[in-house]
């Protein structure tokens, strides 16, 4: 695996965090934003997740992965901040939910 994309996240530690600990950690993060808890709860058991990461180009990107880690979709262009990627993902989710059939 390319060292620039090596996943160094301590997933066990993150999964063990309580909601209060997560809220406390995010409180001082100016690049975080509140998520709709009802929306999250409705999709908690799905087998897909977005990953937000900083690439070699020092820009922020996203990718959609399944539980096995297979990349299903990813951003082409990088964005300057993590918050900009989160907004782009929110816009994408809104657009996909509103999509009807094939494009004209």
CA distances from 94 to 52, 70, 88, 91, 99 (A): 18, 23, 10, 5, 9
Q: What is the pTM of this model?
A: 0.51
7 falls in which pLDDT band (50, 70, 90)?
low
Q: Among the listed ranges 14-23, 33-42, 62-71, which one has the minimum average pLDDT value?
A: 33-42
**Cα distance between residue 68 and residue 80, in whole Å:** 28
Q: Among the listed ranges 24-33, 34-43, 57-66, which one has the minimum average pLDDT value?
A: 34-43
Phi, psi of 79 (to 5 degrees): -120, 155
């Amino acid at each position: 695996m390319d060292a620039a994309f090596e996943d160094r996240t301590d997933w066990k530690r993150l999964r063990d965090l309580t909601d209060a600990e997560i809220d406390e950690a995010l409180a001082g993060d100016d690049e975080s934003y509140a998520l709709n808890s009802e929306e999250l709860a409705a999709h908690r058991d799905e087998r897909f997740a977005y990953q937000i990461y900083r690439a070699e180009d020092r820009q922020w990107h996203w990718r959609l992965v399944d539980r096995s880690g297979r990349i299903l979709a990813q951003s082409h262009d990088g964005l300057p901040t993590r918050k900009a990627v989160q907004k782009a993902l929110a816009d994408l989710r809104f657009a996909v939910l509103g999509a009807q059939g094939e494009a004209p």
